[in-house]
Amino acid sequence: MLEIVAVPAFADNYLWLIHDPVSGETVAVDPGDSVPLLAEAERRGWPIGQVWNTHWHPDHSGGNEAVKQAGATVYAPASEAARIPGVDVALKEGDRVRIGEHQAEVWEVPGHTLGHIAYVLRDDGIAFVGDTLFAMGCGRLFEGTPQQMFESLQRIAALPADTRLYCAHEYTLSNARFAAAAEPANDAIAHRLKAVEQARQAGEMTVPTTVAEELQTNVFVRAHDPQDFARLRTSKDTFR
C-alpha cells in the first residue's frame, strides 16, 4: 500500500507526499512551498525522486526548483510547461507515470486552468485532482469554460465509488455551507456540513474525500448539465 501524507502550506494548501515502501520511492504532488515539504520528507527519511504537477499556479509549482535540486524529476502538463518551473517531462492525456510498481494515468481535466491534469492510480483507488474537484466543491474557472469543468467533474465522478480523491485545498467548510444553501432538502449535505464543522473546530483535515461522498453532497458534481453547473459556479463565486 502507498503511504500518503499531507503537508499543510500557505493559508489552506495541502502538498502531498506519496511513498512506496516497497521500492522506497517518493513523489511530491504540487509542491507549492518546498520548505515544509522537504522538511517533512527528510523527517521521514523519504528522498523525493519525482514531482507531479497538476497545473501551473505558483501555489502548486513554486517549490519545484528546490525539490528538483534535491534530486527530483519534474513532471507537469505539456500545455502549461512553459509556465511551470523546472519541467523535465511534459505530460498529456493518456500518458503514464509510475511510483514503484504503481501506475498513474494522466487525465486532462480542464476548467480551473486550460491544461490542468489529474493523476489517476486506478489499481490503488486513488486520484490526485489538484484544483479541479474539492471536497463538496470545485475550482474557480480562471481559464476554462463551464462546459469543460462540467465534463471534467463528470469524468472524475465516474470513477469507482470508493476512489479516494486528493485535492489541494482545505475549502470544505465554505463549500459545505454553499451546498446546504443550494440544496436545503439534501439530508446528506446537512449531515456532512455538521461533520465538517466539528472536524474544523477540532483542527482536523476534511480531505481526502471519495467519489461516493461527492456524488451525494457536491452540488457541482450533481449539476444536471453545463448550464446548471454555470449557474451554481456563478452563485458560489459571490457566496458569503
- What residue spans define the domains of the chain? 3-237
Catalytic residue flag (residue 19)? no
Catalytic residue flag (residue 112)? yes
Q: Give the tens place of pLDDT for each residue, 34-91.
A: 999 999 999 999 999 999 999 999 999 999 999 999 999 999 999 999 999 999 999 9
Q: Which of 20, 33, 59, 116 is catalytic?
A: 59
Residue 95 is classified by DSSP as -
Q: Which of 60, 116, 123, 191 is catalytic?
A: 60
Regarding the domain with residue range 3-237, which homologous superfamily does it belong to in the CATH classification?
Ribonuclease Z/Hydroxyacylglutathione hydrolase-like (3.60.15.10)
Catalytic residue flag (residue 123)? no
Catalytic residue flag (residue 57)? yes
Q: Which of 19, 55, 102, 116 is catalytic?
A: 55
Residue 14 is classified by DSSP as E
With 0-12 / 13-18 / 19 or more C-beta atoms within 10 angstroms meaning exposed / middle / buried, residue 96 is exposed
Q: How confident is the model at residue 240 (pLDDT cuts 50, 70, 90)?
A: confident
Q: Which of 112, 123, 187, 228 is catalytic?
A: 112
DSSP 114-160: TT-EEEEEGGGTEEEEETTEETTEE---SSS-HHHHHHHHHHHHTS-
Does the reported pTM lie above 0.85? Answer: yes
Q: 227 vs 51, 193, 215, 231, 233, CA distance in Å?
A: 36, 26, 18, 6, 10
Q: How confident is the model at residue 4 (pLDDT cuts 50, 70, 90)?
A: very high
Q: Which of 20, 30, 33, 131 is catalytic?
A: 131
Catalytic residue flag (residue 224)? no
The backbone torsions φ and ψ at residue 201, rounded to the nearest 5 degrees and listed phi first, read: -60, -30
